[in-house]
Structure 1
Amino acid sequence: MKRYLTTYLPLLIFIQFSCNTKPKAPATTVSADAPEMLVSPAGKDSMLLLTDRPPNLETPLKYFLEDYTPNNVFFVRWHLSSLPSKVDIDTFRLRVNGNVATPLELSMEDLKTKFKPYTITALCQCAGNSRSFFDPRVAGGQWKNGAMGNAKWTGVKLKDILELAGAKANSKDVSFNGLDGPPMDSTPDFVKALHYDHAIDGEVMIAYEMNGEPLPLLNGYPLKLVVPGWYATYWVGMLSEVQVLDKPFKGFWMEKAYLVPKGVVNGNEKPDSLSKDMEPINKMDVRSLFVSPEPENTIEVGKATDIQGLAFDGGDGIEKVEISQDSGKTWKPARLDADLGKYSWRRWHYNFTPAEKGNYVFWVKATNSKGLSQPFHQWNRSGYMRNEIESLAINAQ
């Protein structure tokens, strides 16, 4: 059996450490207050540090010029600080139990030989991506736009695994737990759940490869649940247990955390009128953002500039992207690159040639195949699902 090299995770010792402060730019493009701290933990290149315990790292914007986010800079998100520093792949087993006829303990070799491999391209985006831009500000990790990444995921359809286990017809939910653990007994273990019908839709999968390579440890090695089109809170890393339930799942991370106003487009509510009816966050909303040039860049007068960015939604498909230079009064179409798959982001381009020196401000919005677009303002108490129309200010010289 092929043995994957185990990876060590020194959380507090970094290969490289640097800190820099960037000039303040438009609120929609650069985080508000703290200077950027760049770190290079084991297995990663230079990334933006959000927290070191648990490790939470953001992808620098420049890497979004690539259609598939490199593994060594793919964003990192963990909720619990007790993480294994290595995983012995020879003894590791994925346990599948609960409301099934035949409980399973699957090795990596089992997953690769007993099941047909499945590959899907899908965007993984933290529910709190871009939280630092909310106005008024909200508590939580102050991510900029880099708490996301696009990748080709290879593994096994969850449907196939549950069929082998003989999941029973009266199943209601399926829960997922990883090797990470709470630092104290009073801290709820991070366990997420999907409705059974969603779990067996043929797209939800358990990945053992990311962009053609074994998952990095910080991104969930050796196995990661992939829930295409849904926010990354469901993408449980270091997945070690799948439990089929004959009744709805009850747990802190589904009933108390990651809640949004029920049935409200864009998860909107008002600070002085908070929603009382809440539900677990789920499908990603429509969004677009600028990638290049970055706010601190200067463009050349009389020279064509390729303004480009990304647009995505929860799987319905991006229909168009539009650019405005007059604060949303009029809009012009951007050019879309080829579609990489309904769960992938889609790159867009807008050619601009400045006629004279000065500052120029652009707005961008995307619309999907269902006609859903982006609001001018969006807010909720948890800083989730941010998808406001974004602006970019650039200077021509």
Structure 2
Amino acid sequence: MPPKPPINYVVQPTPSDYFISRGNGSEEMNFGAVKEYGDFVPNDRMYIHSRAAAPKLDVAAWRLHVGGSAVAEPRSFTYDELLALPSVTLRRVLDCGVNCRAFFPKVSPYGSLKWLPVGWTQWHFGAVGATEWTGVRVKDVLDAAGLEQAANAEFISLDSITTTAGKLPYSQVIAIDKVLADDTLLAYEMAGEPMPIDHGFPLRAIFSGWGGNSAVKWLGRIEVSKDPLPLSHFQRNQVLAGPDYPEEILATVGPVRSALELAENITIFPGDQTLHGRAWSGAGAIQQVEVCIEREMAPGRWMTVWDPAWRAAKLLHEAEPMMWVRFEIGWKNAEPGHYRLMTRATDEAGRIQPPPEEMVWNQHGLGYNGHAPLELSISPMSNMP
């Protein structure tokens, strides 16, 4: 018998105009299309990262089970019971913890055989998006179940992922202070519509400012513990580890990042240009964005176009915590040639995107936020077909 075709983990269409496929279940948002969007990415254009096929659920029969040693009255909530609780709507970026992973060196620069080549999904800039999330605060749900003194909680999906330890549901163990934060939600809507299947229908967790890996989809159970629970199986690959990390550190708060609203390696016409982009941070609002343009003068030799090399961009609206801000900058008399463009954002916590050579390598390719260059060409109009 011929082998069975692989199961497609993504349900919705993902046309190449709007997505770059990074493997089954991993659909990156094409930043070249982002110029069409306002503050929010349309639901059917948001990046997708699914580690397994969406579970087949009947929302009428679905339940969210809440229990554990720190819950006095374990109970199950129906979808309608959750909708009846006070709702909260937040504008938030969802940024994958390994967004920009492709810009890390694949093999450890330290030459040690202990550190393996960085594998998994090779995201560029587009494993990110922003929308309006509506749901119920986790703390309200836990209070309804009689929350007691707790250390942390495990959020457990209804999916089934093949791992080295067998079939497991995806899960995340989260410290109780983050669990009970006012902006930690169990979201059932995106942009005013029921949560799409690819994004976790009927319910997903949203931990504001934290990497998208924490935002458990297809949520089915929350276990709250008096004693600290160990990291889940999946979180073992979500820690900063490498020669510069004496101890492993769980990656949580998203780094400061930015990107131009351009497809990679495009060709444009010469003349005056206005460049647009977006910047975001898991630690707070963006304070400043700068842009640098370099022209290739000879193979491997680059010269800055501006003096000084970095110029401040104009923020197009007031920056919000944990929401991206749109920016623009003019480029006068852009001449034919090959260029690389870099953006550098600063957030209100004082974090600045570092040069790529200053990025600290880690085994799992987490948290890359160096101002990696985006290359483009400007072709003489007379040579254009």
Q: Is TM more than 0.5 here?
A: yes
Query: Which position in structure 2 is the counterpart of 1:126?
Result: 96
- In the TM superposition, residue 192 of structure 1 has moved relative to its aligned partner by 0.5
- In the TM superposition, residue 206 of structure 1 has moved relative to its aligned partner by 0.4
Q: Which of structure 1's runs of 4+ aligned residues deviate more than 6 A? A: none
Structure 1 or 2: more strand by fraction: 2
2:377 counterpart of 1:395: yes
Tell me, which stretches of 5 or more residues in structure 1 are unaligned? 1-9, 15-40, 262-268
2:186 counterpart of 1:206: yes
Alignment partner of 1:69 out of 29, 32, 41:
41
Query: Which position in structure 1 is the counterpart of 2:83?
Result: 112
Shift in CA distance, 255/154, structure 1 to aligned 2, threshold 3 Å: closer
Q: How does 1:293-304 map to 2 (within 5 A)?
A: 294-301=264-271, 304=272
Alignment partner of 2:73 out of 102, 108, 120:
102
- In the TM superposition, residue 187 of structure 1 has moved relative to its aligned partner by 4.6
The alignment yields a C-alpha RMSD, in angstroms, of 2.3
Shift in CA distance, 156/295, structure 1 to aligned 2, threshold 3 Å: same
Give me the whole-angstrom Cα distance separating, in 2, the residues matched to 1:353 and 1:293: 20
Query: Which position in structure 2 is the counterpart of 1:163?
Result: 143
Q: Is the 8 A contact 2:255 2:367 kept in 1?
A: yes
Q: How does 1:217-296 map to 2 (within 5 A)?
A: 217-253=197-233, 256-261=236-241, 273-292=243-262, 294-296=264-266
1:8-29 deviation digits (Å, cap 9, x = unpaired): xx97469xxxxxxxxxxxxxxx
Tell me, which stretches of 5 or more residues in structure 2 are unaligned? 108-117, 294-303, 381-385
Q: Is the 8 A contact 2:101 2:368 kept in 1?
A: yes
- In the TM superposition, residue 340 of structure 1 has moved relative to its aligned partner by 5.9
Q: Is the 8 A contact 1:63 1:69 kept in 2?
A: no
TM-score by length of 2: 0.83
Instruction: Describe the SS at the equivalent of 1:353.
Output: strand
Q: Is the 8 A contact 1:82 1:183 kept in 2?
A: no
Give me the whole-angstrom Cα distance separating, in 2, the residues matched to 1:363 and 1:45: 28
Shift in CA distance, 376/313, structure 1 to aligned 2, threshold 3 Å: same
Give me the whole-angstrom Cα distance separating, in 2, the residues matched to 1:130 and 1:293: 15
Instruction: Describe the SS at the equivalent of 1:256.
Output: helix
2:292 counterpart of 1:312: no
Q: Is the 8 A contact 2:172 2:235 kept in 1?
A: no
Give me the whole-angstrom Cα distance separating, in 1, the residues matched to 2:71 and 2:336: 68
Query: Which position in structure 1 is the counterpart of 2:159?
Result: 180
Shift in CA distance, 152/389, structure 1 to aligned 2, threshold 3 Å: same
- In the TM superposition, residue 355 of structure 1 has moved relative to its aligned partner by 5.1
1:133-164 deviation digits (Å, cap 9, x = unpaired): 21245212111222111111001011111111
Query: Which position in structure 1 is the counterpart of 2:27?
Result: 57
2:312 counterpart of 1:333: yes
Give me the whole-angstrom Cα distance separating, in 2, the residues matched to 1:292 and 1:391: 12
TM-score by length of 1: 0.80
Instruction: Describe the SS at the equivalent of 1:354.
Output: strand
Instruction: Describe the SS at the equivalent of 2:44.
Output: helix
The residue type equivalent to 1:135 in the other structure is P
Q: Is the 8 A contact 2:92 2:322 kept in 1?
A: yes
- Report % sequence identity: 25
Shift in CA distance, 112/187, structure 1 to aligned 2, threshold 3 Å: closer
1:300-347 deviation digits (Å, cap 9, x = unpaired): 32xx32211111111321110011232896321101121363111111
Alignment partner of 2:12 out of 34, 37, 43:
43
Instruction: Describe the SS at the equivalent of 1:183.
Output: strand
Query: Which position in structure 2 is the counterpart of 1:141?
Result: 121
- In the TM superposition, residue 294 of structure 1 has moved relative to its aligned partner by 4.7
Shift in CA distance, 360/149, structure 1 to aligned 2, threshold 3 Å: same
Give me the whole-angstrom Cα distance separating, in 1, the residues matched to 2:200 and 2:175: 22
Q: How many residues align?
A: 344
Q: Is the 8 A contact 2:283 2:349 kept in 1?
A: no
Shift in CA distance, 293/74, structure 1 to aligned 2, threshold 3 Å: closer
Give me the whole-angstrom Cα distance separating, in 2, the residues matched to 1:339 and 1:192: 33
Give me the whole-angstrom Cα distance separating, in 2, the residues matched to 1:154 and 1:239: 15
Instruction: Describe the SS at the equivalent of 1:111.
Output: helix
Alignment partner of 1:351 out of 323, 327, 330:
330
Q: Which region of structure 1 is more displaced relative to structure 2, 219-228 or 56-65?
A: 56-65
Query: Which position in structure 1 is the counterpart of 2:365?
Result: 383
Give me the whole-angstrom Cα distance separating, in 2, the residues matched to 1:178 and 1:239: 4
1:53-89 deviation digits (Å, cap 9, x = unpaired): xx2222222342222111112111123x3541x3211
